[in-house]
Structures are given as C-alpha cells and as structure tokens.
Structure 1
Amino acid sequence: MTSDLAGQARRFAKELQDALNGTITQHVRIAAVLRPRSAVGPVFTLGHGLSATNPTQPIAFPLRIDNKKPRSWMNLSFQVRLDDEGEFLTVHSSYCGIFADESLETCLLHWDYEREKEHYTSAHVQVYGFSPALEALNKNSAQKRSLDKLHIPVGGKRFRPCIEDAIEFLITERLADGRDGWEERVEEGRQRYRRSQLLAMMRRNPDVVKEYLKSLEDAGT
C-alpha cells in the first residue's frame, strides 16, 4: 500500500511543480516525502525543500519568472494519504500561504484544508488586515477577534480551491507575474482537478449517479 501511495504522491507533486513553474515560478521543486509518524497511517508531505533530513517542513519560494526581486512568496504544504479503501490518493490537509517576505513574517492570506475539522469549516481562507466592520462587531461581542482569525468557507471538502485558483488570483490581482500562456495551463489543471473531485463525489454518492442515469433514460423515452 505504501508503495502505491508513494507513486501517486509523487505524481501529484509533479503536477503541482509543473503548474507553478509553468505559470508564476522558476526552479521550484515539489518533493513527496514519507512522514516519520502519522496517526492516520502512511502520509506523505508535499512541498518545496523537503528531503529525508527534512520530511515535514516545506520552505517558502519566491513568486517570479525571472531574476528580478520577487514581490511575493508562497509557502505550500500538502499532506496526502490513500482513502479508506486504500485505492485513491486523498488530501488529508493542505496549506497555501502568500507572504510579502521570505521570512514569512508578513502574511497576506492563506488557504487551508483540514479533513473532518470539528470547530470550523474544513476548507477556508484566512485574510490578514484591518476591518472597520469587524471592529464595530467586536464592540458588541465578548470574543474579540482580528480579521485573520476568521475562517471564511471556500467550497468544502469537494469544491475547495485548487493550486490553479491561487495562481490565477495572484496573476490577475498583480501580486505575481505570469508566463505567456498561463491561462491555458491554469484551465487545464483546474479541469483535471474538478474531474477528480467529481469522480470522488460519484464514488461516494452512487445513488445520485443512479438517479441521474435514470433521468437520462426517462428523458429518452
């Protein structure tokens, strides 16, 4: 099982690497390394700068397509394992943070996914900054929170953003430069991701698939 997981994890790491280097980065290497210990069985960590001596802590990389000084940095990490049936790769958790500095002291936002999270939505984005509206709401609340402590839902387990969504955001909002043809690379990866999520939904909801197929039969009679 671990060998099958390793193969799928490395293929996914290559997809992430190609998506980044084909659009907003250069020379980024996304490795897949087996974690030393995990409570949910074998888990691989995917990220930049991982190795046998550093299996769990990916390092940030600049968002640039040339040798100019980067305007932003990304810190990316995926924890992947096989599903409960031991057949398909599944993301156990993921993190994608955008920073203004290599030391990761100034964060713009980060997208997070934590499977089966109890206290807030599993897929969410947290944004750093100041919100007058939140400050006004805090005045009437016993629990005062800053903007970055709000977990804003982004599609749930199946429809959460993919790396291509983050890439498109960075380019269109002029936070990173994009290579020529980045739109095609983004759309290709996004369609691949959505197809895999749709297949997973179908496997978990065969009754919905049967209902849909029956509707097609009924429409054809």
Structure 2
Amino acid sequence: MSRSEPGKVAERFAKDLINMLNRTVCEGAFVGILERPDGMVVFGTELRRGQRPQPIPMRTRGGVPCWLTVSGQVFLDGDGYLTVKKSNFLVSAGKPALELFHYDYERDKIGYPDAHLQIFASGEAWDELLLASGKSGGSVSKLHLPVGGRRYRVALEDIIEALIAEDILEPQAGWKPVLERSRDDFRRRQLAAAVRRDPSTAVAELQARGYTVAAPDQALVGNVVQFSKTRLRRRLGRRKPPER
C-alpha cells in the first residue's frame, strides 16, 4: 500500500529516530508508523500493525536492564509541516520492567501543562505534602511537572544524554556527535515553528541586531526585480553589442 504524504514525512521521521537510537544507546531498535484515516500518523518503538508500542532495551553499564518506550502521534499542519499531536518517552528498568519516569507532550492539553514530567518515586516529605492537599500517599507519579512548554520541551536526546551522564547507559562509540546533530535538528525545527507563530518578535530581534527585514510582499517584489535584472544581464551578456 502506498504511503500518503503525511505517512511519507512520518516515515522519514521514524527512520531518523531509528538511526539516532541505534548509533547511541540501542542495538536493532525499530520505530514503526501506522496511518489513520483522519490523516494522523501513529509512531512507536516496535510498533506493528494491530499492536501497541513496546519497550526496547538500552545498553547499560551495570547489567540491570533499562528500557525505553517511545510513542506518539503526528500530522501535517495547514502549511505542510510535520507536527506532533502527542508524544511519550517512558524509561523503565528491571525484569519485569517497572516504570521509572516518563516525559509527555500533548498539544492543547486541558488541566495540565502540555509538556510535563511524571516520576515514579516516593518519600515521607512527598507523602505529607500530598496527603495535606487531599491526594493519596505515594502519588508523586500523578504530578505533572512542567518541562518547557510546547516550543522548549525536553527532547528525547536530552533524556538519553542524561542517562549516559549518570553512568546508567553504555553508549556506542561515537555517540556524542550523532546525538548532538539529532538534537540540533529538533531545536532548529522548534525555532522555525516559533518564528512562524510569532514573526513580529523575530523581526524585532533581527532589527535590533542591525538586520533589515522587509514585509513579505515587499520582499517578494524585491526578489522578482532582482531576478529580472539578473536574467536581463545574462541575456545581454550573451548578445553582441549593438551597432552604433
């Protein structure tokens, strides 16, 4: 079955994830996609038709199994850009795998921050605070801790790098530039999206730094005029000078 345009873009996105994971902390990781009739594309680790995303093993230093589950939904917005509707990065450990924490993002989430962290942990101080607020003891995992919002949320690469820095994961040789390139791509896409949604702030900052920024219609006219002049010069350059 041929891919739709959203499916083709999402497939490239999944391949980039596979490449990043297998060149940093995984071996043989797979990220699958499934297209829905409404134009949404579901993605996930070890995602196969009729199944749910599954955890994939990461290389650890101490021998204790550590797992990563990635899942989410993407679509093409009105301008044709691949857009994340929701995503989930879950880290678990042990056999059977028990959840440690997960970073979630859900566009336009009601009641909680769009981008948030949930940690599976406990402590007397936490219990005292939560019980006083009407929650049950040991419910730290129910708290949605904000992590940067829609544009500045934590990237999967940040999570992987943190686990490497804490000596939990054993990365592949040459992992760092791979991780940095992948994260830079993500941040540039986020920056571009921020500029599209708030061009006036981008214009103001560029002008403050000495750039001259033209409105879209003026820029278009200028480009057309410059293009016409360039074509004219090229055409005249190929001709013999007119006789006097």
TM-score category, normalised to shorter length: 0.7 to 0.9
Task: Give the alignment's TM-score, normalised by structure 1.
Answer: 0.86
Return 5+ residue gaps in structure 2 as ranges. Answer: 213-244
1:146-204, CA deviations, whole angstroms, 9 ceiling, x for partnerless residues? 11111111110011111111110221122221111211111111111110000000000
CA contact under 8 A between 1:62 and 1:102: conserved in structure 2? no
Is 1:58 the counterpart of 2:70? The answer is no
CA contact under 8 A between 1:73 and 1:102: conserved in structure 2? no
Is 1:157 the counterpart of 2:150? The answer is yes
Which of 1 and 2 has higher RCO (CA within 8 Å, sep 6+)? 1
Which residue pairs with 2:75 in the alignment? Answer: 81
Segment drifting more, 13-22 vs 179-188: 179-188
- Match for 1:7: what amino acid? K
Alignment of 1:20-59 (within 5 A): 20-35=21-36, 41-54=38-51, 57-59=52-54
Mapped to 1, the partners of 2:109 and 2:19 lie a distance apart of: 30
Identity percentage over the alignment? 34
Q: Secondary structure at the match of 1:31?
A: strand
Alignment match of 1:173 (pick from 163, 166, 173): 166
Segment drifting more, 195-204 vs 134-143: 134-143
Q: CA RMSD in A?
A: 2.2
User: Larger Cα Rg: Structure 1 or Structure 2?
Assistant: 2
CA contact under 8 A between 1:202 and 1:209: conserved in structure 2? yes
Mapped to 2, the partners of 1:131 and 1:163 lie a distance apart of: 27
Return 5+ residue gaps in structure 1 as ranges. Answer: none
Mapped to 2, the partners of 1:144 and 1:212 lie a distance apart of: 48
Mapped to 1, the partners of 2:102 and 2:95 lie a distance apart of: 15
Query: 1:70 Cα shift?
Result: 5.6
1:98-157, CA deviations, whole angstroms, 9 ceiling, x for partnerless residues? 1114654x1110111111001110101111111222122134222335111111111100
- Match for 2:187: what amino acid? R
Alignment match of 1:143 (pick from 135, 141, 160): 135
Mapped to 2, the partners of 1:172 and 1:143 lie a distance apart of: 34
Which residue pairs with 1:127 in the alignment? Answer: 119
Task: Give the alignment's TM-score, normalised by structure 2.
Answer: 0.79
Which residue pairs with 2:192 in the alignment? Answer: 199
